[in-house]
Amino acid sequence: MKISLNILLSLIFLFPLPLLSPLLPSSSTPNDNAIVSLIDQTCKRTPYEDLCISSLTSNPNRSRAAGVKELAGMVLDSVLLNATDTLAFTRLLIDRTIDPEVERPLDYCAELYIPVVKFTVPQGRDAFYRGQYKFAEYCLTDAARQADACEKMLPGSAVSPMGDRNRIFQQLCSVAVAIIDILSKDQ
Amino acid sequence: MDDATSKSFDHPYTVLGEDPSLVIPPAESRQRPTKVYFGILTSTVFLLSLAGLIVRENPNRAENSIPAAGTAIPESSQDNVRFLPVGEAEGVSAKSYPSTRGRLSFNWTAADFAWQRTSYHFQPEKNWMNDPDGPLFHLGWYHLFYQYNPDSAIWGNITWGHAVSRDMIHWLYLPLAMVPDHWYDIDGVWTGSATILPNGTIIVLYTGDTNEAVQVQNLAYPSNLSDPLLLDWVKYSDNPVITPPTGIETDEFRDPTTAWTGPNGTWYVLVGSRLNTTIGVALVYETLDFKNYTLLDHPLHTVDGTGMWECIDFYPISTNSSVGLDNSATGPEVKHVLKASLDNLKLDYYAIGTYDEGNVTWTPDDPEMDVGIGLQVDYGRYYASKTFYDQNKGRRILWGWVNETDADYDDLAKGWASVQTIPRVVTYDSLTGTNILQWPVEEIESLRLNSTEFEDVFVEAGSLVPLDIGNATQLDISVEFEIESTQALEESMLGETESQLECSVADNRTTLGPFGLAVLADESLSELTPIFFRLVKSNGTLKTLFCVDETRSSKATEVFKEIYGTVVPVLDGEKFTMRILVDHSIVESFAQAGRRVITSRVYPTEAIFDKAKLFLFNNATDLNVTAAIKIWQMNSADIHPFPLY
């Protein structure tokens, strides 16, 4: 009995670790390291690496990212979320302003973002999941064009009421296109 | 005269030295070996003589005048035939196609033909196109369908081609939407329209030419309404839904319109035909489900003497706002436009009038300007136009088919034929109250690159001003001309005899015209297409003619070279304005903000690529004008196949 106690104690110390692992902070699990690595490597191949990384790491679904395809889906979600937020923000600005000079370009921008949120990005996402990558990219490029048109109507981002939202949105679209490109090439 | 904000115009310009009254040289001058210098143009001249070198189309047309129901039709109707007469062999091969004019074709190079292709107008990659069909907006995309022959650059084997765009400018080609594959459309899937029901359902009614060459109306709908591209279409299993009624010729019964609502959930649709061969008629069908139809015992409207009405269009227009209206709209401030394409003349006519909902009839505001005898939609090469209500932006949009005016064998050689106009917004002209206004959709402005502006350009009588703008084959031009008050002119013209209301050629100098722009002109003016105003005294007042003179547009002899024109109302205090879209072999010209429009096809042999230039001119003998002009270079619309995978 004395001998088995020693063995028993060492077993108690060794075995519970794997069993306890899900309870430990996730940043230290092998699976999560793989995801971080996947995100890093993928984002390196996009024109806005930092934006790509921050967008993906903040995505609540990131633990399900098994490959580039899931990352692409996640970025598309970000694009839609970003456009929806920008539209809501623009509408808020319109409500708050009384100066027609300020309101006019904001109205114009809202008009541009409405179809982006309603049609363009959702259709791009649907196309992506159907494997129609070029269609998806067309939608993203088109969405970015609308943001560009909006930006052109506003004063520079330092003084623009919309700040750098259009610029960030365009960059996010570029990131999405780049990741879809990776998928197309790797096929 | 100098204006700091615009390109200062400091080129002196003078009339040609030899004969101060001539801006246009006599015909012989074209043979002068000396290459006339340009720089500051002075030496350029238009041909004076009508005789000799210029080969004329239809020399019998003493009607360089503006006939009310003009025939700008070539001698052979083969060239703009929409469909071959019943019984005739179809699908003629290139080898057996006869030369329609017996004249030698110009020795076109591949580069010449390539230049002719437009850069921002819709046209398929190759082969033949005609009527626009079923235009609509759905889930973020504008759709255009069109009569299309996938096999040849002449009419035949007609299918529905399909393209989509987010902005009606940047089009993407899609697979064919419908092909002739049932007995009821085996001889052709012809023209039709789309109706979007209140619940979002899309239905299409189109004419099918049956295996026995009978014209029937068929129902089709998208197989998947949630597909934003509407790629696949289903034909109703029980087609046709409408067959020619008794008393109507089975080959004169076609082109169903978009439907509109009547009381108690009924829908109405029009089909065009003719009675007693000479009376144009809009037959009315009533339906609840788009599958079963009843012919009303009276037509919506008829007009004697106008013949077969093709491509009927019927839509409401607001008289007190520029907002577009859905097809079912009615109200005190709503009028209805009835339009027909006259098969006899190959011209599109329309009239504004009042729709009686109770009787389902329509009456023109002015019976003397009824459909087919009054206003034309477009006074140039233009046919089979169709509108739709753009619920995306609340506009009424107009499409129009523009056929080639070169020879069929040219089309076969170059492998394509026909373009569509830039889609136009249609509104009511509340200033005149007698016509519609058409204007290119504002989305076209996304193609604008750099612009050049000239202000206060004094163009005295008998002078020509070159506009140095670089490339002159893809342009969006806005120009306005100011003259001394028309009242003063009228007084000074008191003693003058009245003239015939005719455009005539640009080199015909009259007292008060012509003045305008010469597009697609080469430096020596051996080729040019003048677009101009000419003021003429008629019936005691001054009338303004708006004209496009193609007679010197090309040295090629087998192409049509028409003079198109119309009187355009110019109201007190208005300047004379034009907007011109130049896009290689098509020119769309709008006068007085779209009060009158002329679409033109030209095929220069010299004034192409970087040799094409732009000029202002004033060929009047006794009138000076001042012009302000802004010219944008236009980008290509990069129309290409839809990138799916």
Confidence band of B48 (pLDDT split at 50, 70, 90): very low
Residues 471-530 of B with CB under 8 A from A: none
Q: Which domains does chain A have, with CATH numbers?
A: 30-186 (1.20.140.40)
Interface of B with A in 395-434 (CB under 8 A): none
Q: Which of A119, A134, A142 sits opposite B228 (nearest CB)?
A: A119
Cα separation, B401 vs B422, whole angstroms: 10
Per CB-CB distance under 8 Å, the chain B contacts of A118 are 140
On whether any CB of chain A is under 8 Å from the CB of B228, the answer is yes
Pick from B289, B327, B268: nearest CA to B136: B327
Q: Is the pLDDT of residue A71 over 90?
A: yes
Residue B94 pLDDT exceeds 80: no
Per-residue pLDDT for A5 more than 70? no
DSSP one-letter string for B101-113 = S--PPP---HHHH
Q: Is A48 helix (H, G, I), strand (E, B) or coil?
A: coil
User: Average pLDDT, stretch B101-109?
Assistant: 78
Contacts of A133 in chain B (CB under 8 A): 645
B641 contacts chain A (CB < 8 A): no
| Apex B489 CA angle, B488 and B494, nearest 5 | 100
Chain A residues with CB under 8 Å of B139 CB are: 119, 123
- Mean pLDDT score, A140-155: 94
Report, as an integer, the average pLDDT of B439-468. Answer: 96
* Nearest CB partner across the interface for A132, out of B139, B172, B644: B644
Q: How far is B644 from chain A (nearest CA, A)?
A: 5
Do B140 and A135 lie within an 8 Å CB cutoff? no
Chain A hits for B141, Cβ within 8 Å: 119
Q: What is the mean pLDDT of residues B239-262?
A: 97
- Return the beta strands (E) in B357-430 as ranges: 361-364, 375-376, 383-390, 395-402, 416-417, 419-420, 424-428
pLDDT grade, residue A10 (50/70/90)? low
Confidence check: pLDDT of B611 > 50: yes
Chain A touched by B645 (CB under 8 Å): yes
Q: What is the pLDDT of residue A7?
A: 63
Give the residues across from B600 on adjacent strands. Answer: B587
Name the token pair of B207.
Answer: 């004419």
**Interchain proximity A134–B643, CB inside 8 Å:** yes
Question: Regarding predicted confidence, which is higher, B48 or B213?
Answer: B213
More reliable by pLDDT, B48 or B442: B442
The encoded tokens of residue B135 equal 């235009």
> How many CB pairs below 8 Å do chains A and B form together?
31
Average pLDDT over residues B530-542: 91
Q: A120–B643: do the CB atoms touch at under 8 Å? A: no
pLDDT at B486 over 60: yes
The number of helices, as runs of H, and strands, as runs of E, in chain A is 9, 0
Q: Which of B79, B131, B209, B313 is catalytic?
A: B131
Candidates B140, B392, B644; nearest CB to A120: B140
Is B131 catalytic? The answer is yes
Nearest chain B Cα distance for residue A184, angstroms? 9
Question: B155-165, pLDDT tens digit by residue?
Answer: 999 999 999 99
pLDDT digits (tens, 9 = 90+) for A154-166: 987 678 889 899 9
Beta bridge partners of B294: B286
Rounded average pLDDT over B508-514: 92
Give the pLDDT of residue B34.
Answer: 35
Contact A137 B642 (CB under 8 A): no
Q: Which of A131-135, A158-162, B142-146, B218-222 has the lowest mean pLDDT?
A: A158-162
Nearest CA of chain A to the CA of B324: how many Å? 18
Per residue in B226-236, pLDDT (tens digit) is 999 999 999 99
Nearest to B644 among A118, A120, A135 (CB): A135
Of B37 and A41, more confident: A41
Using CA atoms, how far apart are residues B336 and B378, in angstroms rounded to an integer? 18
What percentage of chain B has pLDDT greater than the value 70?
83
Q: What share of chain B is helix, strand, coil (3-state, %, to 5)?
A: 5, 40, 55
Q: Which of B448, B444, B399 is nearest to B143 (CA)?
A: B399
Burial label, B161 (beta-carbon count in 10 A; 0-12, 13-18, 19+):
buried
How many helices (H) and strands (E) chain B has is answered by 3, 38
User: Is residue B22 pLDDT above 80, yes or no?
Assistant: no
Q: Is the pLDDT of residue B39 over 70?
A: no
**Which residues in chain B touch residue A127, judged by CB atoms under 8 angstroms apart?**
644
Q: State yes or no: pLDDT of B296 exceeds 80.
A: yes
Does B644 contact A at CB distance below 8 Å?
A: yes
Report B:137-176 residues touching A (Cβ under 8 A).
139-141, 166, 172
Average pLDDT on B512-520 reads: 96
B642 reaches A (C-beta below 8 A): yes
Which of these, B360, B390, B385, lies nearest to B297 by C-alpha position?
B360
Q: Give me the amino acid identity at B43.
A: S
A12 Cα to chain B: minimum distance (Å) = 56
Nearest-CA residue of chain B relative to A137? B643
pTM as predicted: 0.84
User: Rounded to the nearest 5 degrees, what angle is found at the Cα of B113, between the Cα atoms of B109 and B116?
Assistant: 145
The reply to whether A135 touches chain B by the CB within 8 Å rule is yes
Give the closest of B172, B392, B645 to A132, CB-based: B645
Asked if A142 has any chain B CB less than 8 Å from its own CB, the reply is yes
Report the pLDDT averaged over residues B321-337.
97
Confidence band, pLDDT 50/70/90 cuts, at residue B264: confident
